[in-house]
Amino acid sequence: MRLRGLVRNFRGRRVPTAKLLLDTTYLLPIFGVSVKLKDYNVLFPKLINKYSILYNPASLVEAKWIIIGLSRRKPSLREALLNRFREGLRAILSDTRISQTVLTKSEVEEIADELLLRYRVNDYFDRIIYATAVYYNTMLLTEDRELHNLLKTRKHQNQGK
């Protein structure tokens, strides 16, 4: 599911029991990394108020990985990027509206392994985040095209049963 459609689905209604797992893309702005998400600054606060927000700790590692990559390309910004990551980390960890899932467990890994073996999803971060959403039976908010295609494929397969 994508950000704009999600907010449109629940406009004007508070749904505290609906859970939503965020892909790393939606955490990056908190760490000072700009991403191309239309109206993120307007829509993200609405999500926090309408959903029970979850993230997998692997997203924190992936975000740090992205920041390290950016700092290699822009050494003059390295210190600022690393500081901003720590500030964002403090913000996420102290915000009671955003909850951390378990990093992994055998059931999550089983789903992640199926994504690799059956669907050829090579990116471990994508697999673990998707598997976490399946394990917790929650919606996954992602911009990842491979995961969107996978969601469509699995939905189509389940309808045939």
Tell me whether residue 7 is in a domain.
Answer: no
Tell me whether residue 4 is in a domain.
Answer: no
Tell me whether residue 158 is in a domain.
Answer: no
Tell me whether residue 159 is in a domain.
Answer: no
As given in the structure block, the two tokens for residue 64 are 């740090």
Instruction: Convert the pLDDT of each residue in 104-136 to its tens digit.
Output: 999 999 999 999 999 899 999 999 999 999 999
Tell me whether residue 161 is in a domain.
Answer: no
Tell me whether residue 6 is in a domain.
Answer: no
Instruction: Convert the pLDDT of each residue in 72-111 to its tens digit.
Output: 999 999 999 999 999 999 999 999 999 999 999 999 999 9
CATH number at residue 70: 3.40.50.1010
Residue 81, domain extent:
15-151
For the entire predicted model, the pTM comes to: 0.82
Tell me whether residue 137 is in a domain.
Answer: yes
Give dist(CA 69, CA 57) in Å, integer: 19
How many structural domains does the chain have?
A: 1
Give dist(CA 91, CA 94) in Å, integer: 5
Q: Are 47 and 13 contacting, i.e. CB atoms less than 8 angstroms apart?
A: no
Tell me whether residue 2 is in a domain.
Answer: no
Q: Which helix (H) or strand (E) covers residue 98, if one does?
A: strand 98-100
